[in-house]
């Protein structure tokens, strides 16, 4: 790696860590009901929303009532988004007269955006009207992110409270997440994006004359180009801040009207991890021990930096097949060096590898380069990052509550080692919590492996694998990993806009989102009812280097034991084939 590479990675991580405490403390105040003076003008709107929906903001819920509210609310959103796509051809704000979306694609997209996955089997500029983009996709970007944050806060309350039968009010947590956190941040970010050149308009697509005409496939000259426009900046802001990732345009943040400048690229990349990182401090503050939040942030940062360096090194090493032909792939003043296939020259290898690792660390899935064109080992790092159950930062809320589940498992393992009842934040971890934690950890792994097996053994699954051999398997494994862990990015090169993959991946996204939320809330309810156990000589400190190392080991071992055999059939064997 070059000095420039180290500087870019160092600046990114440094700025991210500097923003953790102020944003984390702000979010803690919001969830504790202490609205800052400069946002209190929104309080009447909050109260009006409660009256409109018949919500008693002062009434808290048991974990079961909280879970039912989560599931019903998200089911309504899924059905509404499906219906909107099916009738978009008859609705306004459709200047390109785009027709209704097919039933299977509508189901896949509705499941994708409701679950905060934002997997896309379509090209945005050729499929979705402006109304669908704004009223359907952008709204779900806010609500799915707020749902994850609400579930996290319920779990934090379960850890922080003693002998309590409630975990909060879902409607209040949802409203405050959206109204006081996601909306203000997105509004400011959207204005910045517009200032950088991200398009935000309701005008029809523009047509321009080419400087140099060319001959098309039909042997006729092409003299004009259609430039897709639309209200992109408002969606890009929340797609990054809410770890959604669904692009307004087909090529996502590689598109010059979605990510036009290096500064824009840096801040979009920063926005991916901003809220997940800050929520670590929020957790520590609300739990009464900020050291606990810093410990979890340290775990996430260590793994992230290791994967960024690994991915960058693999991409800067270049293609061994080209090196064997005598092609110079060394970085110099005249060339970036390494593997530039599928990458924007305005961003280069480091920003591409950094974005790829950050977007798969979070359940974001947005891209500024094509992961399918990475070297086999370079693509392995983003894929494995997804397969670590999206707990290295992860989605807003969902990533941290996933990491807290791993922390519970880690203290349980430590307790077994020393023959002591495991405790976390003064709460005993017993059989019930471990059963629920096992579900949270094992369900995504099972979903990924089962759907991969189905895809590679059935004719319908193999029919659209256009790249043979190990790389084709990698594309299938990446797609199922992305859906099964609610990430949303893709290797591409795999045809997924068909009934088989739309239904298979749509079901995978739904199972991996809601079959994890319910046991997480069950753990919150169980822990909230327990008494605090006094700290004793045998208590394992969960904020020091020993626990940080133990937690990293648990996360990596679970991922390695589950997916290394599958990775050996894909990117690992493909890399070996390249160096033969």
Confidence band, pLDDT 50/70/90 cuts, at residue 559: confident
Count helices and strands (H / E) in the chain.
Answer: 22, 4
373: its two tokens: 């064109």
Q: Which residue has the higher pLDDT, 134 or 327?
A: 134
Confidence band, pLDDT 50/70/90 cuts, at residue 331: confident
- Confidence at residue 264, expressed as pLDDT on a 0 to 100 scale: 95
3-class DSSP state for residue 56? coil
CB 351, CB 359: distance < 8 Å: no
- Confidence at residue 560, expressed as pLDDT on a 0 to 100 scale: 79
Confidence band, pLDDT 50/70/90 cuts, at residue 1: confident
Among residues 425, 488, 557, 387, the alpha carbon closest in space to that of 113 is found at: 488
Q: In degrees to the nearest 10, what's the CA dihedral of 408, 414, 416, 421?
A: -60
Give the global pTM: 0.94
Q: Alpha helix (H) ranges present in 197-261?
A: 232-241
Rg (CA), the chain: 23
Task: Give percent above pLDDT 70 in the chain.
Answer: 99
Name the least confident of 42-56, 189-203, 327-341: 327-341
- Confidence at residue 279, expressed as pLDDT on a 0 to 100 scale: 97
CB 556, CB 302: distance < 8 Å: no
Alpha-carbon distance of 155 to 161, in angstroms, equals: 10
Confidence band, pLDDT 50/70/90 cuts, at residue 278: very high
The DSSP result for 326-380, as a single string, is T------SS---S--TTB-TTTHHHHHHHHHHHHHHTT----SB-GGGS-HHHHH
- Confidence at residue 64, expressed as pLDDT on a 0 to 100 scale: 96
Q: Tell me: the pLDDT tens digits for 155-188?
A: 999 999 998 999 999 999 999 999 999 999 999 9
Q: What average pLDDT does the segment 100-114 reach?
A: 96
3-class DSSP state for residue 457? helix
Is the pLDDT at 335 greater than 80? The verdict is no
- What's the Cα-to-Cα distance from 185 to each of 40, 189, 196, 473, 549, rounded to whole Å? 16, 6, 17, 39, 34
CB 399, CB 362: distance < 8 Å: yes
- Confidence at residue 580, expressed as pLDDT on a 0 to 100 scale: 67
Q: What average pLDDT does the segment 566-571 reach?
A: 93
Confidence band, pLDDT 50/70/90 cuts, at residue 77: very high
Task: Give percent above pLDDT 90 in the chain.
Answer: 81
Phi, psi dihedral angles at 343 (to 5 degrees): -115, 150
CB atoms within 10 A of CB 38: 8
Among residues 397, 491, 346, the alpha carbon closest in space to that of 405 is found at: 397
CB 392, CB 381: distance < 8 Å: no
- Confidence at residue 483, expressed as pLDDT on a 0 to 100 scale: 95
CB atoms within 10 A of CB 497: 16
Among residues 276, 535, 285, 298, the alpha carbon closest in space to that of 407 is found at: 298
Q: Tell me: the pLDDT tens digits for 536-551?
A: 777 788 999 999 999 9
Q: What average pLDDT does the segment 218-238 reach?
A: 91
Secondary structure of 251-305 in HEC code, one letter for each residue: CHHHCCCCCCCHHHHHHHHHHHHHHHHHHHHHHHHHHCCHHHHHHHHHHHHHHHH
- Confidence at residue 533, expressed as pLDDT on a 0 to 100 scale: 83
CB 120, CB 85: distance < 8 Å: no
Confidence band, pLDDT 50/70/90 cuts, at residue 521: very high
Structural domain spans, the chain: 3-578
SS3 content of the chain, % helix, strand, coil (to 5): 65, 5, 30
User: Mean pLDDT across the chain, nearest whole number?
Assistant: 93
Q: What average pLDDT does the segment 461-465 reach?
A: 93
Is the pLDDT at 197 greater than 80? The verdict is yes
Q: What average pLDDT does the segment 272-293 reach?
A: 96
3-class DSSP state for residue 539? coil
Q: Which residue has the higher pLDDT, 246 or 418?
A: 246
């Amino acid at each position: 790696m070059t000095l420039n590479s180290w500087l870019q990675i160092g600046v990114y991580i440094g700025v991210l860590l500097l923003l953790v405490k102020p944003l984390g403390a702000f979010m803690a105040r919001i969830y504790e009901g202490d609205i800052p003076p400069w946002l209190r003008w929104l309080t009447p709107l909050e109260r009006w929303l409660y009256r409109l929906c018949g919500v008693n903001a002062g009434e808290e819920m048991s974990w079961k009532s909280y879970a039912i509210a989560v599931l019903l609310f998200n089911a309504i959103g899924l059905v509404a988004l499906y219906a909107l796509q099916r009738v978009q051809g008859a609705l306004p704000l459709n200047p390109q007269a785009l027709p209704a979306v097919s039933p299977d694609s509508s189901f896949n997209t509705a499941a994708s955006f409701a679950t905060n996955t934002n997997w896309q089997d379509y090209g945005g500029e050729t499929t979705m009207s402006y109304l669908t983009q704004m009223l359907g996709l952008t709204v779900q970007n806010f609500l799915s992110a707020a749902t994850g944050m609400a579930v996290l806060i319920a779990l934090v309350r379960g850890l922080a409270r003693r002998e309590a039968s409630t975990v909060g009010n879902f409607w209040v947590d949802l409203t405050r997440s959206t109204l006081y956190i996601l909306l203000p941040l997105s509004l400011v970010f959207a204005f910045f994006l517009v200032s950088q050149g991200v398009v935000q308009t309701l005008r029809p697509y523009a047509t321009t004359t080419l400087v140099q005409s060319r001959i098309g496939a039909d042997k006729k000259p092409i003299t004009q180009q259609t430039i897709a426009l639309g209200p992109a900046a408002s969606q890009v802001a929340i797609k990054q801040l809410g770890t959604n990732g669904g692009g307004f345009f087909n090529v996502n943040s590689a598109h010059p009207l979605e990510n036009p400048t290096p500064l824009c690229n840096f801040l979009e990349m920063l926005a991916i991890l901003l809220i997940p990182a800050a929520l670590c401090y929020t957790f520590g503050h609300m739990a009464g021990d900020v050291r606990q939040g810093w410990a979890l942030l340290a775990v996430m940062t260590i793994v992230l930096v290791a994967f960024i360096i690994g991915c960058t090194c693999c991409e800067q090493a270049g293609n061994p097949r080209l090196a064997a032909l005598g092609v110079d792939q060394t970085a110099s003043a005249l060339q970036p060096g390494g593997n530039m296939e599928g990458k924007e020259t305005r961003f280069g290898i480091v920003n591409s590898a950094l974005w790829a690792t950050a977007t798969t660390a979070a359940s974001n899935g947005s891209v500024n380069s094509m992961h399918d064109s990475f070297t086999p080992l370079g693509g392995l790092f983003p894929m494995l990052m997804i397969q670590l159950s999206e707990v290295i930062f992860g989605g807003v809320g969902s990533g941290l509550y996933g990491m807290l589940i791993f922390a519970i498992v880690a203290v349980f393992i430590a307790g077994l080692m020393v023959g002591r009842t495991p405790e976390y934040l003064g709460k005993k971890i017993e059989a019930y919590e471990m059963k629920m934690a096992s579900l949270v950890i094992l369900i995504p792994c099972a979903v990924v492996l089962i759907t991969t097996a189905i895809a590679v053994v059935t004719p319908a699954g193999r029919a659209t694998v256009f790249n043979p051999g190990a790389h084709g398997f990698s594309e299938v494994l990446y797609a199922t990993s992305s859906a099964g862990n609610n990430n949303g990015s893709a290797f591409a090169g795999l045809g997924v806009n068909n009934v088989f993959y739309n239904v298979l991946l749509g079901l995978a996204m739904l199972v991996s989102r809601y079959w994890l939320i319910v046991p997480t809330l069950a753990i919150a309810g169980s822990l909230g009812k327990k008494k605090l156990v006094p700290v004793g000589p045998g208590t394992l400190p969960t904020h020091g280097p020993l626990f940080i190392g133990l937690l990293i080991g648990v996360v990596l071992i679970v991922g390695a034991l589950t997916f290394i055999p599958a990775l050996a059939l894909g990117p690992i064997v493909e890399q070996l084939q390249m160096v033969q």
